[in-house]
Each structure stands twice: as structure tokens, then as C-alpha cells.
Amino acid sequence: MATSIVSIVIFSLFIFSSSSNAKSSRKPEAFTFPIKKDDSTNQYYTNIQIGSNSTKFSVVIDLGGKLLYFNSINYSTASYRPVLCGTPQCSISSGGGCMFCVFSPPDTPCTNNTCTDYALNPFSGTRGCSPLGQDSLLVRYARGAHRYYTTVDNFPFQFSDPVLREGLAGPAAGLIGLGRTRISLPAQIASAFGVRQRFALCLPPAGGDGNLIVGETTYSNPLEGISKSSLFTTPLIRNRVSTFGNEVIGNLTHEYFIDVKSVRVGSKTLSLNKTLLSINKKDGSGGTSIRTVRAYTGLHRSIYMALIDEFVKAAASQNIKRVASVAPFGACFGSKTVTSSKTGPQVPTIDFVLHKKSVYWRFYGANSMVRVSDEVICLAFVEGATNLVGPTTSIEVGGYQMENYLLEFDVASSKLGFSSSLLLHDTSCSKFGAS
């Protein structure tokens, strides 16, 4: 036994070292960005390498975000170039207008006639309008045990006002957007390499590893098998009205919306105001978005109350003892009265039923309950806040509910593929990679 493990290790080291400097003959088709969760802010971040000496930064992942922005003294500006007005790179931004020399990375001469864009910090709500620049982004792709690097030349981003870093996870210098814009990471990779605009996201819990894979590839097993045989598919829908006001051109949100038609606890369907579940075509309010920049799923007050009522009832019928609530959560339970299983605490399931009854996103205890102390676990859903700068979305699916699910965003055909909890399949996002 011991000898065979040793020989496997030696064999894989051999493959790795013999190929690490090789060039792949096939065109790269998918790029991997490792994901970690920051424990204190509940934000998910990845690393990027940009510029002439490939400076490494952590950037927070914003699924619905527009573009890449960062601010760091470590950024070497030797290969930075401003995006000038009237260029193709400028025309794909949503345009904050042309700017005279006001603000640019340290040590770069200011330029007139520079294209600007708005960037949003989704935690503080701060927006900044600054010039856009471009530089080469180093990206990693894999073929089995082989890893290769290549660059996206002229990758557009904003060297932002430092105020846009406030509220970001400690190690992060900025934020990277995966939203439905032409300037986002998936859109830029699709156009640079001529690949389909799609990406797969597998968010890890704190302490774990996950990956974002942009482009098309086969995954390593068992995730490849799960992706091929057991994904649910639902349309990605578009809110015609921006949830963050003030978009000059485009006037569509960058966020990904899905069509949640009803919510179930166990087999019981909650009685909800259906108007809240659909997007109001005139003002953009209502509907369900998916947001990695929300720690827990936020629900319109009436949906939240209905969920808590039904969940508490269903839990009581399993002899789970309710205890005093711990803010921001509205229903907490004695953890000693809950048994555990491979999908986490054994509590009533919660389903978001989508465009068809047979398509639903089911949350088990690992995604519906959060431990707040040794004795107490709470229902990991919160009352959603009112959006002060645009229409309020009724359901914002948060990061905790996405952890250890495989989510495939096929932007090109506006479809979301999602697995059931990977824990049910005895695996997790730490096993997610390209093969």
C-alpha cells in the first residue's frame, strides 16, 4: 500500500516538472482562479496578477460586478496605459465620460481625453468615477496535471480612488466583476481567446478552497460527472432597470437574476405575495438575484417572516428546540437538539422552486444553518435591506447558500446550471478543477 502511494506521488511530480515550462499546442479554453473565503468579512476573493512584473493582488469576487478595480502601492505602472476616449476599449464601458488629467496611478503621467467609468463598492455603497486603464493580466490554465500561463493583453480596469477599498476583506486591493457587461472578466476572456462566455463558480466555506473557472473545459472528477449528469438548468433573466441607479448607457443591471416562483419548507409551500417574486418591468423592483457580495440570503420582510414561521413549526415537529435569537438571525435553535448528517445539521429542507416545479434549489443544514456559538445554531437567512439607490430586489441569494454547489453561468445562452449540494455527492468545492 505504502509503496503504491509513493510511486503515485513520484509519478505526478515527474509529470508536473517535465511540463511546467512547456507550451501547450492547443489553444487555451478555460482559466482557473482559486477562491478563498475571508473569515471576518464573509467575502470571497481570488488572486490576480497584473502588469509588467505580474504583481499579485487579492480581489473580492463580485458576481454581479461590472469591472475590475483596485488601488495598491504595489502596482508597478511600467506597462500601464490609459484607455483613451474613442477607442474600442472605451466603447465597451458604460461610460462616465472623458476626463482631463485628475487622478491616475502613481508615477504615470496624467492624460487628457481618458475614458472613465463608474465602479461600485457593493459593501459600502460608494461609487467612484475614475479613468480606465489597461495592462496585461496573467491567467492560468490547466490540462490535467499540467499548468500553463498566458496573458490577456490590454485587460481593462480602473485604478480606483482608495475610498473604494473601504469595507473590502483585509487582504483585498480591489474587486473583480463577473457581471453581465462587456468589460467584466468573463466577457474579456471570451473575447481575448474566442471562447464561449461562460464560467463555473464553486464557493468554499471558510477555511476551504474553491475555484472560478472561466471558459469551457472538462472538470476533474467527480465534478465532471456531476456537471454532465445531474445539473438543474434555469434561465438567467435580466432586470431591465439597474439596481444601482445612475448607469448612463445600458440601463440594465449587471446582476444575474433567476425566476424563483415559490419557496418550500419541507413539502410545505409558503404562502407569499407573488408580485414580490417577479421583477416589476417598470421600476425593476422584486425578483431574485444571486450575489456573492451578500453573506447570507436576504429576503423581503414578508417572505422572511413566512419562512421563519414555517421553519420554526417544521423544526418543532422534529423536536428541535428554539432558543433566543442572535442578531441578525431571526430563528435560532439549541444545537444539542439537532442531529447531524453529511449535509450538515438535520433540519427541514428549504427549496427555492424555479421556472418549473421539477427545478428547485434545495438547501440542507450545511447551507441553511450557521453556528453562532457552541450551543446555538441559527437559520442563515436575513431580512433584506431596502436599496437606497435603486429598486429593491425581493430575494438576494447570498454566498453562504451557494457554498459547495457547482454553479455554471452560461452567459451566452442566459442559462444557469446548478448542482444539488456537493455534500450529498460526498464531495466539495475543494475538488473542483479543470482536468
Answer for the pair 81, 108: CB distance below 8 angstroms, yes or no: no
159 strand-pairing partners: 70
Three-class SS of residue 169?
coil
Residue whose entry in the numeric block shows the C-alpha cell 448612463: 248
Q: Please identify which residue in 275, 413, 414, 435 interacts with ligand NAG, judged by CB under 6 A.
A: 275
Our finding on whether 53 is near ligand NAG (CB under 6 A) is: yes
124 near ligand NAG, judged by CB under 6 A: no
Q: Which is nearer to ligand NAG, 74 or 317 (CB)?
A: 74
Q: Between 49 and 337, name the residue whose CB sits nearer to ligand NAG.
A: 49
Q: Is 110 in the site for ligand NAG (CB under 6 A)?
A: yes
Min separation Cβ 271 and ligand NAG, Å: 11
Residue 271: Cβ within 10 Å count: 10
DSSP lists the bridge partners of residue 47 as 58
Task: CB nearer to ligand NAG: give 242 or 428.
Answer: 242
| Closest approach of ligand NAG to the CB of residue 268, in Å | 20
Classify residue 406 by its DSSP letter. -
Question: Smallest gap, in angstroms, from Cβ of residue 373 to ligand NAG?
Answer: 32
Least distance to ligand NAG, CB of residue 421, Å: 31
Q: Is 73 in the site for ligand NAG (CB under 6 A)?
A: yes
Q: Which three cell numbers stand for residue 274?
A: 407573488
Q: List the grid coordinates of 38.
A: 475571508
Candidate ranges 3-11, 71-79, 127-135, 337-345; the one touching ligand NAG (CB under 6 A): 71-79
The Cα 189–Cα 184 span in angstroms is 9
* Contact between 76 and ligand NAG per CB under 6 A: yes
Shortest Cβ distance from residue 272 to ligand NAG (Å)?
9
273 binds ligand NAG (CB under 6 A): yes
Pick the closer one to ligand NAG by CB: 174 or 215. Answer: 174
**Least distance CB 185 / ligand NAG (angstroms):** 19
Distance CA 295, CA 64 (A): 14
Identify which range of 74-82, 83-91, 188-196, 339-347 contacts ligand NAG by CB under 6 A: 74-82
Please state, in angstroms and rounded to a whole number, the distance separating the CA atoms of residues 128 and 160: 7
Q: How far is the CB of 424 from ligand NAG (least distance, A)?
A: 35
H/E segment holding residue 402: helix 399-402
What is the per-residue DSSP string for 223-264?
HHHHHHHS-EEEEEE--SS-TTS---S--S-SSEEE---EEE
Q: How many CB atoms lie within 10 A of CB 35?
A: 22
- Residues 222, 210, 213, 145: is their CA dihedral positive or negative? negative
Write down the least CB distance from residue 397 to ligand NAG, Å: 19
Contacting ligand NAG (CB under 6 A), which of 81, 228, 240, 268? 240
**Using the rule CB under 6 A, which residue among 12, 112, 191, 271 binds ligand NAG?**
112
Alpha-carbon distance of 351 to 342, in angstroms, equals 18
Closest-CA residue to 170 (of 40, 65, 48): 40
DSSP character string of 79-99:
G-EEPBTTSHHHHTS----EE
Nearer Cβ to ligand NAG (304/432): 304
**Which of these segments, 211-219, 272-280, 343-351, 376-384, binds ligand NAG (CB under 6 A)?**
272-280
Q: Applying CB under 6 A, does 72 fall inside the site for ligand NAG? A: yes
CA distance 338 to 318: 9
Kindly state the smallest distance separating residue 248's Cβ from ligand NAG, in Å. 7
- For residue 261, the one-letter residue type is K
**Residue 21 host element (H or E):** none
74 binds ligand NAG (CB under 6 A): yes
The contact mask relative to ligand NAG for 173-202 (x = CB under 6 A, - = no) is x-----------------------------
Is 313 a residue that touches ligand NAG (CB under 6 A)? no
Is residue 52 involved in binding ligand NAG (CB under 6 A)?
yes
226 or 241: whose CB is closer to ligand NAG?
241
Q: Please tell me the distance from the alpha carbon of residue 197 to that of residue 296, in angstroms, as a whole number.
A: 27
Q: 3-state class of 61 per DSSP?
A: strand
Residues in the site for ligand NAG, rule: CB under 6 A?
A: 52-53, 72-74, 76, 78, 100-101, 110, 112, 173, 240-241, 251, 273, 275-276
